Copies of this chain bind each other. A is one copy, B any other.
Amino acid sequence: MTEIGIGILGGGYMGKAHSVAMASVGAVFNTALRPRLEMICASSQESAERYRAAYGFARATDDWRVLVADPKVQAIVIATPQSTHREIVEAAFAAGKPVLCEKPMGADLADAEAMVAAAETTGTANMVAYNYIRTPASQYARRLISDGIIGDVTAFRGEHTEDFMADPKAPATWRTTGMANGTMGDLAPHMINAALALVGPIESLIAEVETVHKDRPGGIVTNDDHAQIMCRFANGVMGQMFFSRIATGRKMGYAYEITGTKGAIKFDQEDQNAIWLYKMSDAEAERGFRKILTGPAHPDYEPFCQGPGHGTGYQDQIIIEARDFLHAIHSGDPVWPTFRDGLEVARIVHTALASAETRSWHSLSKG
């Protein structure tokens, strides 16, 4: 057991989640590396100090460069706005420090490419924080497919839908300007990442975006509320995706349905402890989607609880992610999704936005 000093940039929503994860991951997974909450950085000294005290860090700063340079900070988690990612990442890798970076990787494709270049030049551990695909259920979905339980996949439908902006009177904020903060830029990446993990590379796509509420209190909205994609995967699978931040009634609509030649899978993050499996090999009268409750028979469940059906939650995904990041550091092996994997998501978002402008199919193939 070796201690490792953790520095976290950003103390809000995700900064807290990562802080809690680092505080508990050792006890949950009995990790070889044991996080020590060394330093937290926030936009002002006052807020940084408040986060430090709340989450239990040793020190606080309002200067990310201080955190990155600090010798007791041995690994870095980035939970700041995406426009800041690139600069921090480049400095961190220059300092030889491993980085777990929140999604999406940067403000645009150029950022993502630069971040991959920085990561691969340095060769230190690098990972993008796509947490939802790490639930026991979604990990199990990946296994079901790779084990051939549902045969060859023939169709994929995915969505990431929430309704936090459904109220037309919700005010304009940083979220409502800049394509990186819109639905395609900010929500879609989670499900695109899932699609890649579950089905494989996407070969071509056509997309649309729509700003339903163009005028909000406090300003004009310049990015998209709804977004949709039709696509083809490299293996010929037909795909359909929908994303929205105004999907009234949906709170965590990270959901997919995967049709195979021998079976099918359905999943909805709003009931994250269940996954539905249909098998054509069942006797005809007994065929039906099985509502499987996750348990010790499924990936990464048992460390949280020995009882099936007892359930894991949002925070537990971040703990699994922390375990994977620590493992990447300790083992020296890349852990999916690396920055290069994250770049693929960024390329797809970039292409989807381009497609929405030209209203035509675009290829993802690399020249």
Contacts and interface: CB of A to CB of B under 8 A. Distances in A.
Contacts of A154: 210, 212, 225-226, 246
B270 A309 contact: yes
Given A206-B206, A288-B292, A313-B304, A167 B249 contact: no
Number of copies: 4
A291 interface: yes
Interface in A285-307: 285-293, 295, 297-298, 304-307
Contacts of A162: 307, 309
A29 B309 CA distance: 25
Q: Identify which of A157, A210, A314 gathers the most chain B CB atoms within 10 Å of its CB.
A: A314
A148 interface: no
B273 A260 contact: no
A277 interface: yes
Nearest to A239: B228
Interface stretch (A48-56, A74-82, A332-340): A48-56
Contacts of A293: 251-252, 270, 288
A181 interface: no
A33 interface: no
Interface string A154-184: 1101000010101110000000000000000
Interface string A230-273: 10100010101010101111111100000111111000011111
A366 B228 CA distance: 26
Contacts of A304: 313-315
Contact of A150 (B167, B248, B262): B248
B248 A278 contact: yes
Given A226-B238, A248-B280, A271-B273, A311 B314 contact: yes
A26 interface: yes
A244 B314 contact: no
Q: Identify which of A155, A164, A297 gathers the most chain B CB atoms within 10 Å of its CB.
A: A155
A108 to B, nearest CB: 24
A45 interface: no
A34 interface: yes
Nearest to A285: B297
A346 interface: no
A295 B287 CA distance: 10
B280 A286 contact: no
A28 interface: yes
Contacts of A124: none
A96 interface: no
A206 B226 contact: no
Contact of A290 (B55, B259, B272, B287): B287
B291 A291 contact: yes
A330 interface: no
Contacts of A247: 155, 259, 264
B361 A359 contact: yes
19 contacts: A28-B315, A30-B54, A150-B248, A162-B307, A162-B309, A166-B261, A212-B261, A240-B240, A249-B259, A249-B264, A249-B289, A251-B310, A276-B288, A279-B286, A287-B290, A288-B290, A291-B291, A305-B314, A312-B314
Going nearest first, the 3 A-B pairs with the smallest beta carbon separation are A251-B309, A313-B313, A249-B278
